[in-house]
Chains A and B, each alone.
Chain A
């Protein structure tokens, strides 16, 4: 199956620190797939916003299963190609879109989170700062209405997938 993977610069996995081999070569896990513990982890488009990092790649998983919403884990995987449309410019647009989408809050914690997100949005690059603005905007949505966090994350992920061309093939 095909999925997506955010990596740090140099094809480095954000949590294990493993450097992925060049596109086309398989990376095999040392232990059977287990959520957040072992196996090759990748994403479905509907959770992209939560895990944004500097590099976005399309990956092929051999035997992948969805072990948590939007998270697929497999015994092995390989990079197919980098999604070049995810870059600093796209990240800034993503941050601005997140801020604009939760601009409504007029007071209290929702407004504070929204203001923090707006302040951070101007300095965003395609790494964790994009993820942070998305997180703050989602918190603003939750503070404005219970359940807003998850709904906002879905919206953000949809926006991101659309912006980088994943929804249009």
Chain B
């Protein structure tokens, strides 16, 4: 039996569970042990936290017409795939 651990790919998949506190304690411990030695995942975690912080403060009125149109175009293209 190997060492219980999380890979970078697995960490990316469960990062929302970590941030939203939907992860059991042993899994959180594995998550944090990985982040402790992996600077790529540290950066990724900080980027996701910053995104949540910044977008969480946005309201619909904060978007200009061009940004709104651009976003709608991206969503339409994405849904059309």
Contact = CB atoms under 8 A, between A and B. Distances in A.
Interface stretch (B7-15, B33-41, B58-66, B67-75): B33-41
B2 A132 contact: no
A135 B8 CA distance: 14
A36 B39 contact: no
Nearest to B41: A128
Contact of B36 (A34, A50, A142): A50
Given A139-B3, A142-B3, A149-B3, A36 B29 contact: yes
Given A128-B38, A149-B3, 7 more contacts: A14-B35, A34-B25, A35-B28, A128-B42, A131-B37, A132-B37, A132-B39
Interface string A58-85: 0000000000100100000000000000
Interface of B: 1-3, 21, 25, 28-29, 31-33, 35-39, 42, 49
Contacts of B33: 50-51
A142 B2 contact: yes
A95 B73 CA distance: 51
A134 B37 CA distance: 9
A37 B21 contact: yes
B71 to A, nearest CB: 29
A36 B36 contact: no
A127 B38 CA distance: 11
A129 interface: yes
A152 B70 CA distance: 53
A52 interface: yes
Given A14-B36, A128-B42, A132-B38, A36 B3 contact: no
B61 to A, nearest CB: 29
B25 A35 contact: yes
A103 B45 CA distance: 33
A127 B37 CA distance: 9
A138 B37 CA distance: 12
